[in-house]
Structure 1
Amino acid sequence: MQSELILKKDVDLHHSQDPYRVQNADEIDEDQSIERQLRFVLNRLTPENFQKLVINLINLPLNTQERLNTAVNIIYQNALNEELYSHLYAQACKLMSQIKVPFEHVSSKFISFLSILLKKCEKEFDTDYHKDKYYEYLVKEAEFVTDEQKRKQLLDQANEQLEKAKQNYIGNVSFLAELYNMDLLDDAILHEGIKRLFEKQEKDEENLECLCKLLTRVGPKFDNYKNKEKIDDYFEHLRDIYEKRFSISARIRFMILNLIELRENNWTPRHESGPKRIEEIRNQVLAEREERELRFAQTVPQTQIEFMVADGRRYSLFYGYAHHILDQLKYREDFDRVLGYILKVDPDRHSELFEALICISMDKSDQQRDLIGEFFYQNLKSKVFKLDQFKMGLRKVLLKALESYMKGYKFPKKLSQILANLIRLDFLDISFLKDAFEPVKRDQLCARIMAKTLKLAAEQIGCQNVSDIFELSGLDFNYFFENFENEVDRRDFFKEMRIEWVSTIHEHQRQSVELIQSFKEKLEVIFRETGEEPLAVLDRIEPEFHKEETKTKEFIRALSVVFFEKVLHHKRIDSDKFKKMENILVNFVKEHLDLQLEMLYSVQVLAFHMKYETNFLPVSFMLLYSDEIVERKAFFKWMNNPRGKGHGIAQVFLSSFFEHISRPQTEK
């Protein structure tokens, strides 16, 4: 009854003067947006999805010192709070370590992500956590409070803050260890840190805990012939502490004892610590299954089964051996070891091994399929693996897919995770895909695999770049999408798979082509009839083209193409001829930044059609820069405004050039 009366009354709720409300997208500035994206990625970072999510970190526009500081602070704090995953944050820091931005007040000098991070780590290492400011403030507040309950509450808060400061201090040392493992710290810095921890351990045993955690993490790499003498001294000192100092807690004593035993056991732990990932459990199940298969194989006459010995064990070819190889592939650092396993097999039989690796990877994680795709890409591009062998292996996989359980809903997506890694900006000829897909060409499976591959590749490098790589490889999208009865069904499929750009990618490039071609034909006649003499060429251009025409992008594009075709000799730029004729270009683009930009786009497209032979692109850009035909800011504007064929691929070829022009003049 009482509750009914209360509900009938008008209750006057308290209204806050500044109530919380969700911000609209237009109310969030760019700095807030970057911080949100950064936290979003870090909160979802796991060993399984690291390879995918870390790309989002690298692509964040951290182009000011304030943004770089924010990124360092957030990643650093996460590393301290989640010590178990500090190795992941260290890997992310290694990938971001080369990011540089100008100083806020001195634009000619640069500050890097790594230098900010190391200063932060050093500051925390030098800090006495007992003197935490907030802790001292709470203790002083408690001294002046007469209410016993409130005083106890303040002291509890102070102790919590002290514990938090202590965990930050320990977490910082663990994070430094992981940075060393990523080659971001050198041995000298580590020796100095260990020396200071020994000096501070008499005051506080937490420094001994830090020392044990540091040496446990870095031991396998740090304990080498160069450091052996000093490390022997460190462990002698630790033995003395263990045997003579009974004031330290039993927990720290056992920690020291475990560390000594770990080194004596060649840094091999007695048992794996930490929770197992789903992937590791799957691998354990597969290993047990493989062992059962091997025991069964031993009951069959040896003439029927082939074996490969690796790491002291025998594996049946090719699936047993492929299982073993994929078990070893966890990170990019494992690529060399895995390559060693593969090169033990006869190169003429690699297709069978590749087939087994791809088939088994269908039951692995997304991260492992990404890794195997990148592994194939690197070794195909460097020609360690033969394209024909990979093509045959892939072809066999597709044939099996047509007839087996693999032709399921998830198979196209899983296979596309491997194939998308073959479509990269540092160009690899992927024309072999045409022959590999021949068995499934008339099946919907072909369209689905290729659609998902294109979608994944476009997410990584952009639709235009995917289209450019296909064109450079002599491939036609239509080949993979011939299995539709009519154009309407094909368009509907493109829409469903979200790859509509496949049929429309070059529409915008058809504009102005006729005008450029007509200008080009007239200019070719002028160059030919004047013997390519600069003054004679300029004298002929003036009466044959209106002044306004010479300021159009179509004219500059036509002129650039004709000019560079004339200075080429056996597909290489004749620098003497270039310098002799360069005044023709200067006359039309000097002090016109927009026209200089059009010239760069022309060189980009010309290099694309030449398939990036003979360093034409970097040499052209360097001549345009060094001879001051194109201003420095025009180059950066070109880099930040992708347009036309081959822009993304061109950036890969020009990375050294932009690194050169980005350096301060004094450094050059």
Structure 2
Amino acid sequence: MIKRKVKSLLNKLTLEKFDSISNQIWEFAKQSEKEDDSESLKTVIDLIFDKACDEPPFASMWAQLCKRLYELTSNNKEIKNVNILDKNNEVVCGGPLFRKYLLNRCQADFEKGWKHDLPKIDENDPNVMLTDEYYAAVKAKRRGLGLVKFIGELFKLQMLTDRVMKECLRTLCSDPKNPEDEETETMCKLLMTMGKVFDTSSLNNKQWLDVYFARMKEMYESKTLSSRVKFMILDVIDLRKSKWTLKRGNEVAPTTIAQIHEAAKKESEEKEKETMKRSGSSRSLGTPISRQGSSRNLASHSR
């Protein structure tokens, strides 16, 4: 019952109706006051998480919803899970319980990795894009990229810590000499989402990223990456050099539902254009994107 009603509310959520609908969702999460395992709260968090992963352009809004529910939960000691104890052997409740559920879900999905969900398909077959397997693979990839975007937005709202971000980035750059397209693209998407906040929040983070970006340059030189993903690395390096300000001036996240829909439309159009250019790459779902006439290379980013 709770799943169906909360799903319905999530489908109606917009930034214009944010307060009223988030309060209605809270009423369902609040049912955990009468539960020993806070199953209602966990269910609500899982549903929001699924929605966020399926709808990357709306990641900022879903992160804001998590922040709002966390604030409502923070001082409510009636919401608890008697099966979860803290280091003092006391029952975890309120805000810490909310964060624990959220972090556990982030870790579980991130460690699973979207690449492992991809069916085995022969991308050299020109008819592969017409198969159900191909569409399943595209859906898995979209969900995986939605996951890292959501994680980045949660970090920007201080729902996840610097330590969690470092661990995610380490995982995605574990073998800079032999990187893979999937992990590298995910890394770039994560940095584009949370890089500015992470880089400017402390000197320690800035120095940590200095070392990390040196590894990214090593990844760029690898022969295992497609040209498309190598260009993504260059884009991220450019972004940091420009103090994380996008050339198009869109560094600020959409703040109205109209802007979010416009962002979603643009992303859909870009994906459609990319799909039309696909030609059965053996390294990734997408083929390298040609940038004819471009003189960009890593040397220009080392100056």
TM-based fold match above 0.5 = yes
1:89 Cα offset (Å): 0.7
Q: Is the 8 A contact 1:129 1:162 kept in 2?
A: no
The superposition leaves residues 159-211 of structure 1 with CA deviations (integer Å, 9 ceiling, x where unpaired) of: 33333333222221111111101101111111111111101674531111111
Aligned-residue sequence identity (percent) comes to 29
1:36 aligns with 2:4: yes
- Taking the TM superposition and a 5 Å limit, the aligned residue runs for 1:514-529 are none
Q: Deviations over 1:263-295 (max 9, x none)?
A: 111111111459895877xxxxxxxxxxxxxxx
Asked whether 1:171 is paired with 2:155, we answer no
Q: 2-side partners of 1:215 and 1:120: how far apart?
A: 20
Q: Identify the residue that residue 119 of structure 1 maps to in structure 2.
A: 104
Residues 275 and 117 (structure 1), Cα distance of their counterparts in 2 relative to 1, 3 Å cut: closer
| Cα shift readout 1:523-547 (whole Å, capped 9, x = no counterpart) | xxxxxxxxxxxxxxxxxxxxxxxxx
The residue matched to 1:160 in structure 2 has which SS? helix
CA distance in 1, matches of 2:84, 2:193: 39
Alpha carbons of structure 1 residues 105 and 230: separation in structure 2 relative to 1, 3 Å: closer
The letter of the residue matching 1:230 is: W
1:89 aligns to what? 62
Q: Tell me whether 1:250 sits opposite 2:218 in the alignment.
A: no
Q: 2:39 aligns with which of 60, 66, 72?
A: 66
Matched, 1:229 2:189: no
The answer to whether the 8 A contact 1:180-1:218 is kept is yes
Per-residue CA deviation, residues 90-113 of structure 1 (Å, 9 max, x unaligned), is 111112225363336689834523
Unaligned runs of 5+ in 1: 1-31, 140-151, 281-668
Alignment of 1:288-299 (within 5 A): none
The one of 216, 238, 241 aligned to 1:238: 216
Map 1:241-640 → 2, pairs under 5 A: 241-242=219-220, 244-273=221-250
Q: Report the Cα offset of residue 238 of structure 1.
A: 1.5
User: Kindly tell me: are residues 279 and 198 of structure 1, through their superposed partners in 2, closer, same or farther at Cα, counting changes over 3 Å?
Assistant: closer
Would you say the 8 A contact 2:188–2:232 is kept in 1? yes
**Could you state the TM-score of these two structures normalised by the residue count of structure 1?**
0.32
- Asked if structure 1 preserves the Cα contact closer than 8 Å seen for 2:153 and 2:194, the reply is yes
CA distance in 1, matches of 2:233, 2:25: 38
Cα gap change, 1:66 to 1:240, in 2 (>3 Å): same
Cα gap change, 1:184/1:200 in structure 2, threshold over 3 Å: closer, same or farther? farther
Question: Structure 2, unaligned stretches of length 5 or more?
Answer: 122-126, 260-303
Distance in 1 between the 2:169 and 2:83 partners? Answer: 36
Tell me how far apart the structure 2 counterparts of residues 270 and 226 of structure 1 sit (CA, whole Å).
Answer: 27
Shift of 1:86: 0.7
Letter in 2 for 1:205: D
The answer to whether the Cα contact below 8 Å between 1:173 and 1:214 also exists between their aligned partners in 2 is yes
Distance 1:70 1:260, change over 3 A: same
Instruction: Report which of the two structures shows the higher radius of gyration computed on alpha carbons.
Output: 1
Q: Secondary structure at the match of 1:217?
A: helix
**Does residue 186 in structure 1 map to residue 161 in structure 2?**
yes
Q: For residue 210 of structure 2, what is the amino acid of its counterpart?
A: D
d(CA) in 2 for partners of 1:184, 1:233: 25
Change over 3 Å in CA distance of 1:206–1:277 after alignment to 2:
same
C-alpha offsets along residues 470-516 of structure 1, whole Å, 9 cap, x if unaligned? xxxxxxxxxxxxxxxxxxxxxxxxxxxxxxxxxxxxxxxxxxxxxxx
The one-letter code of the counterpart of 2:47 is: I
What root-mean-square deviation, in Å, do the aligned CA atoms of Structure 1 and Structure 2 show?
Answer: 3.1
Whether the aligned pair in 1 keeps the contact of 2:9 and 2:21 (CA below 8 Å) is: yes
Q: Is the 1:86–1:174 contact (alpha carbons within 8 Å) kept by the matching residues of 2?
A: yes
Describe the superposition over 1:235-267 as per-residue Cα deviations: whole angstroms up to 9, x where unpaired: 12222222x124322221221111111111111
Q: Judge conservation of contact 1:200–1:207 (CA < 8 Å) in 2.
A: no
- Give, in whole Å, the separation in 1 of the partners of 2:10 and 2:175: 33
Contact 2:16 2:257 (8 Å CA) reproduced: no
Aligned residues of 1:72 and 1:116 also touching (Cα < 8 A): yes
TM-score norm. by structure 2 comes to 0.66
Counterparts of 1:39 and 1:236, CA distance in 2? 43
Q: 1:164 to 1:35 in 2, by over 3 A?
A: same
Q: Residue 109 of structure 1 aligns to which amino acid in structure 2?
A: V
1:218 — aligned with what?
Answer: 194
Whole-Å separation in 2 of the counterparts to 1:175 and 1:236? 26
The superposition leaves residues 601-655 of structure 1 with CA deviations (integer Å, 9 ceiling, x where unpaired) of xxxxxxxxxxxxxxxxxxxxxxxxxxxxxxxxxxxxxxxxxxxxxxxxxxxxxxx
Query: Per the alignment, in what secondary structure is the counterpart of residue 247 of structure 2?
Result: coil
CA distance in 2 between counterparts of 1:128 and 1:90 reads 20
- Does the 8 Å contact 2:45/2:101 carry over to 1? yes
Distance in 1 between the 2:144 and 2:238 partners? 26
Match of 1:62, SS?
A: helix
Q: 1:56 to 1:190 in 2, by over 3 A?
A: same
Tell me if the contact between 1:135 and 1:158 (Cα under 8 Å) persists in the aligned partners: yes
The alignment status of 1:109 with 2:91, answered yes or no, reads yes
CA distance in 2, matches of 1:275, 1:69: 28
Q: What is the match of residue 649 of structure 1?
A: none
Whichever residue aligns with residue 237 of structure 1, its letter is R
Q: Secondary structure at the match of 1:267?
A: coil
Task: Name the CA distance, whole Å, in 1 between partners of 2:116 and 2:56.
Answer: 23
Instruction: Report how many aligned residue pairs link the two structures.
Output: 231
